[in-house]
A and B are shown apart, each in its own frame.
Chain A
Amino acid sequence: MDALTVTRTVTVQHAQGLHARPAELIAKQALKFLAEIELGHERHRVDCKSILNILTLGATQGTVLVLTARGEDAEQAVEALARLVESDFPEQAPLTEKIQQPENAR
């Protein structure tokens, strides 16, 4: 394959790790690119466009992950995603996780 492959090592900065909200933002960002993008470590590499897969990484603060993109816009994808993973996800409000869904979904 002559598609461009870009790899970069990133370290999770957010105090609570890659939980729901950060994972959501990463997946959303990844979905904007055409490239195939993987996130993970040696034993476990997952589809970066899947919030569920990202959550399975169980990445906490300080976890080192490898970001790999394959495709035309691989460069931009890795650039944008690395910035995001290493950010503090400022949009994230500390209280969000504690909200119980008010509507009874059962």
Chain B
Amino acid sequence: MQRLPGIAVSPGVAIGEALVLDHEGIRIPRRFLARGATEAELARLDRAIADATAEVEHNRERIAEQLGSDYGAIFSAHVQMLNDPRLRQELEELIRERHYSPEYSVSRVLRRYAKVFQALESDHLAERASDIFDIERRLLKHLLGERRGEIAHLDRQAIVLSRELTPSETANMNPEFVQAFATEIGGPGSHTAIVAEGLGIPAVVGLGPFVSEVSGGETVIIDGDAGVVIIQPDEETLARYRSIIEDQKSASVELAKLGDLPAVTTDGVTIQILGNIEFPSEIPLCLERGAVGIGLYRTEFLYLKGDTEPNEVEHYAAYKEVAEALGDKPVVMRTVDLGADKLSMLPQPEDERNPFLGLRSIRLALKYLDMFRTQLRAILRVSAEGNVRIMFPLISNLIELRRAKMVLADAMEDLQEEGIAFNRNIQVGMMVEVPSAVIMLDQFVQEVDFFSIGTNDLVQYTLAVDRSNKDVAALYTSADPAVLRLIKISLDVAKAHDKPISLCGQMSGAPIYTMLLLGLGLRAFSVTAAAIPEIKQVIRAVSIAHCEQVAQRALKLESARDVKTYLREELSRVAPDIVI
């Protein structure tokens, strides 16, 4: 049994068989063969070698035709390597004597060669290691038949273990088959984490190198609540986790009963619950659970799914799907909120030593105006057909906001000239997630129709902590008194000027903060579908009067730890069955 600590990013617990993806995204299969399968597996190996050889031959001929026979020479070396008699012999030994699978044997033998090459003194010869990796990939491709994308086509339940998963890979996961996943890299704010939570797939990230220790088919436990992965658990651990899963099932059945009951406090104040989504597919669950609209629609996936910039048609198609799924319910579409480092189609910034302080989000949009305009046009076009609002992220000063609004006004003018319909009175809002915006909020009030507090970034910028850096991650907490004060300022200013304000960071989906936020004056919670039932449960169990007392007391505490302890205590009194 092996217990690996990581970062919990999506709650829930799962026990299942490991599906392991290597660094190239190729599935690493079972290490050992079934009894009596040796001959069939050897035949499969020979077929893979023959197919890979034919493929390389084909490449060689094509290149030789185009560029001359000299250029095909490296392929001819590859053919020789694939058919190396020693290689074949070594593979056969592992398959026959150690009962290793052909895939595992191929990786093992070829990686050993690669290691030898890498250690050679001559750089030129050491580079041959890349030929070996190429051959390994090729053979594995033929042995496995499939490559990446496999997660999207799973036909039985599995727990996915991988070095990393892209947001779109995560988004393509079918929660019916992907029971949970764990990755070596990644942090709590990553899109992968956000998507996992949206889909309700338990996930742990940031585990550090571990994938090579696991082989396909092994039993794994993912504890997305505690942020732990357990490889080959012992019987006792398994039994304990099985009972945890049972408990969670019955708790979620209870929560599901809340259905679309209104989110009203015991003293009769109605609270708005809005959904946070990344994909249109998340909308039905949000509505089923009683969301009155979408408070945050993240548009980043459009930019992350390919190597080319999405065009207006693609933007429009995605936004239209969202607007249609919502009918007349409102949706806040947030413009692109990514760093240049994440966008392969843009030139990479030269001095990006601190991506979170660099060219990202609205700053990026204002630098690449064409890209920004494309997105704004698409949102505007959809505004003619649905209850669409627009929101700018990471606004840190007034000029920035005005420039963004100017681009929007330009886009409107263009559409007008082209005779394309849009809502001229579309509501425009901004994220409150940079401390400077909080401090100057009374100036912003005149310029926007609504605010949304983004606690994830607000916490990071207020406390100067990168939460994906495990050495300092512990400093990152929404409970820090400085953060609470900034939230209070924001809510107070918005209220004084009668501007709608919601909170869409992960803080709003964590039940421990619900009473505090209600007490501070928050009346609109924007959360993932997964978090709605619990938040609603708390809201329905408390009175505003009591929450105000809780908030006042919390604001007087001097450390995040004290705040958390106190809030936990208060919550356990009103909703004892919620596990934090």
- Give chain A's interface residues, CB within 8 Å of chain B: 16-21, 23-24, 27-28, 31, 47, 49-53, 55-56, 58, 60, 91-93, 95-97, 99, 101-103, 105-106
Contact = CB atoms under 8 A, between A and B. Distances in A.
B536 interface: no
B80 A55 contact: no
A58 B121 contact: yes
Which of the listed residues A16, A21, A49 has the most CB atoms from chain B within 10 Å of its own CB?
Answer: A21
Contacts of A93: 70-71, 73
B125 A50 contact: no
Contact of B74 (A16, A20, A56, A106): A20
Contacts of B74: 20-21, 96-97, 99, 101
Contacts of A21: 73-74, 76-77
Interface stretch (B13-21, B84-92, B201-209): B84-92
B163 to A, nearest CB: 14
A101 B73 contact: no
A76 B24 CA distance: 45
Contacts of B523: none
B237 interface: no
A27 B117 contact: no
A27 B59 contact: no
Interface string B133-158: 01001100100000110000000000
A105 B76 contact: no
A38 to B, nearest CB: 12
Nearest to B26: A106
Given A99-B71, A101-B74, A101-B134, 14 more contacts: A20-B131, A21-B73, A21-B74, A24-B76, A52-B132, A53-B86, A55-B113, A93-B71, A96-B70, A96-B74, A99-B63, A101-B75, A102-B59, A103-B59
A96 B75 CA distance: 9
A58 B122 contact: yes
Interface string B100-113: 00000000000001
Interface string B38-73: 000000000000000000000100010000001101
Contacts of A50: 84-87
B25 interface: yes
A19 B80 CA distance: 13
Contacts of B329: none
Instruction: Point out which of A16, A17, A20, A47 has the most chain B C-beta atoms below 10 A from its C-beta.
Output: A20
B117 A105 contact: no
A102 B62 CA distance: 10
Interface in B518-576: none
Give the top 3 A-B pairs by smallest Cβ distance, nearest first: A93-B70, A50-B86, A58-B120
A24 B85 CA distance: 13
A49 B86 contact: yes
A23 B128 CA distance: 11
A70 to B, nearest CB: 16
Interface in B275-309: none
20 contacts: A16-B124, A19-B128, A20-B128, A24-B77, A31-B85, A49-B86, A52-B81, A52-B87, A55-B117, A56-B116, A58-B121, A58-B125, A60-B125, A91-B73, A96-B70, A97-B74, A97-B127, A101-B75, A106-B24, A106-B148
A19 B129 CA distance: 11
Contact of A60 (B24, B86, B122): B122
Contacts of B141: 105
Interface of B: 24-26, 59, 63, 70-71, 73-77, 80-81, 84-87, 113, 116-117, 120-122, 124-125, 127-128, 131-132, 134, 137-138, 141, 147-148
A18 B117 CA distance: 12
B125 A55 contact: yes
A103 to B, nearest CB: 6
Nearest to B66: A102
Contacts of A24: 76-77, 80-81
Q: Is the interface of A mostly helix, strand, loop or mixed?
A: loop
Given A17-B122, A20-B128, A101-B59, A96 B71 contact: yes
A27 B82 CA distance: 13
B122 A52 contact: no
Nearest to A97: B74
A75 to B, nearest CB: 22
A17 B122 CA distance: 9
Given A20-B128, A96-B74, A105 B80 contact: no
A106 to B, nearest CB: 5
Contacts of A20: 74, 77, 128, 131
B84 A52 contact: yes
Contacts of B120: 56, 58
A28 B555 CA distance: 79
Nearest to B56: A101
Contacts of A56: 113, 116-117, 120
A8 B120 CA distance: 25
Contacts of A19: 124-125, 128
A27 B73 contact: no
A24 B60 CA distance: 15
Contact of B84 (A51, A58, A60, A97): A51
Contact of B80 (A16, A51, A99, A101): A51
A61 to B, nearest CB: 9
A105 B52 CA distance: 10
B129 to A, nearest CB: 10
A55 B71 CA distance: 20
A31 B88 CA distance: 14
Contacts of B25: 106
Contacts of B128: 19-20, 55
B85 A106 contact: no
A23 B113 contact: no
Nearest to B86: A50
B70 to A, nearest CB: 3
B58 to A, nearest CB: 9
Contacts of A55: 113, 117, 125, 128
Given A24-B77, A106-B147, A52 B138 contact: no
A20 to B, nearest CB: 4
Given A20-B128, A52-B86, A105 B138 contact: yes
A41 to B, nearest CB: 14
